[in-house]
A and B are shown apart, each in its own frame.
Chain A
Amino acid sequence: GAGVSQSPSNKVTEKGKDVELRCDPISGHTALYWYRQSLGQGLEFLIYFQGNSAPDKSGLPSDRFSAERTGGSVSTLTIQRTQQEDSAVYLCASTSGVETQYFGPGTRLLVL
């Protein structure tokens, strides 16, 4: 079946602009995660959605970062007033809660 998809695959933006990154989880998965991966680094947890519960935003690095999950499915990660240090790969993962997390291919963000 279809896996986790993310769009765009690559995004180049200018410093100060806002960007939106999209994640389509596996159908039926109740939990969705966003991670950030800087070049050559590990996975930095950003935010976690579980069903209709309030999201766990404890990993968001600043108030410029926000995320929504509409209808319990698609999620959008928004970065306002982007900075060069925001350049990274943004990964989305979903899970049914019983199985492991399945990752999308990521969005490579470059802030010039």
Chain B
Amino acid sequence: GENVEQHPSTLSVQEGDSAVIKCTYSDSASNYFPWYKQELGKGPQLIIDIRSNVGEKKDQRIAVTLNKTAKHFSLHITETQPEDSAVYFCAASRNNNDMRFGAGTRLTVKP
């Protein structure tokens, strides 16, 4: 089955700096890669996703890149703000079935 690894487990950045979180996956048939943000006391919320026919996707300050050959994908947050502080999870699945999640990255943005 799919195995997703996520790094780093914790990340601290200064407000205004960029943050990058990286994930690798094992199943070459995986074709859907969402990223979730989980704030304290809440369930994970989708922030951006990418499918395997696309190499990069951007939504305002958030971007995701996918390298299918290397089987890794990354989340990039630019101009970080304190409200970006949360736990971020990557995930990988085949046709949105059997989705497997990374262990999460706790991002802290210092004002």
Instruction: Give a binary string over B23-45; 1 marks a CB under 8 Å from any A CB, 0 the rest.
Output: 00000000010101000011111
Interface positions of B from 66 to 104, Cβ below 8 Å from A: 89, 95-104
Q: Is B96 a contact partner of A42 (Cβ separation < 8 A)?
A: no
CB-CB nearest in chain A for B95: A97
Is B46 part of the binding interface, using a Cβ–Cβ cutoff of 8 Å? yes
Contact indicator A101/B99 (Cβ below 8 Å): yes
Give B32's nearest chain A residue, CB to CB.
A100
Task: Given A97-B96, A100-B96, check contact A41 B43 (CB 8 Å).
Answer: no
Contact digits for A51-64, partner B, Cβ 8 Å, 1 yes 0 no:
00000100000000
The stretch that binds B, out of A67-75, A79-87, A102-110, is A102-110
Write out the residue numbers on chain A whose beta carbons fall within 8 Å of the beta carbon of B100: 45
Contact B103–A42 (Cβ < 8 Å)? yes
Chain B residues contacting A48 (CB-CB under 8 Å) are 98
Contacts of A99 in B (CB 8 A): 96
- Tell me if A91 is interfacial: C-beta within 8 Å of chain B: yes
Cβ-defined partner of A91 (8 Å) among B34, B43, B104: B43
A95 located at the interface, meaning its Cβ lies under 8 Å from any Cβ of chain B in the complex: yes
Smallest Cβ distance from A56 to chain B, in angstroms? 8
Quick one: closest A residue to B99, CB to CB? A101
Are the C-beta atoms of B89 and A43 separated by less than 8 Å?
yes
| Cα separation A102 to B47 with both chains bound (whole Å) | 11
Q: Give per-residue flags for A26-41: 1 if the beta carbon is below 8 A from chain B beta carbons, else 0.
A: 0000010101000001
Nearest chain B CB to A27's CB is how many angstroms away? 18
B102 touches A100 (CB 8 A): no
Binding site for A on B (CB under 8 A): 6, 32, 34, 36, 41-46, 49, 89, 95-104
Listed A/B pairs (6) with beta-carbon separation below 8 Å? A41-B104, A45-B101, A97-B95, A102-B46, A103-B43, A106-B42
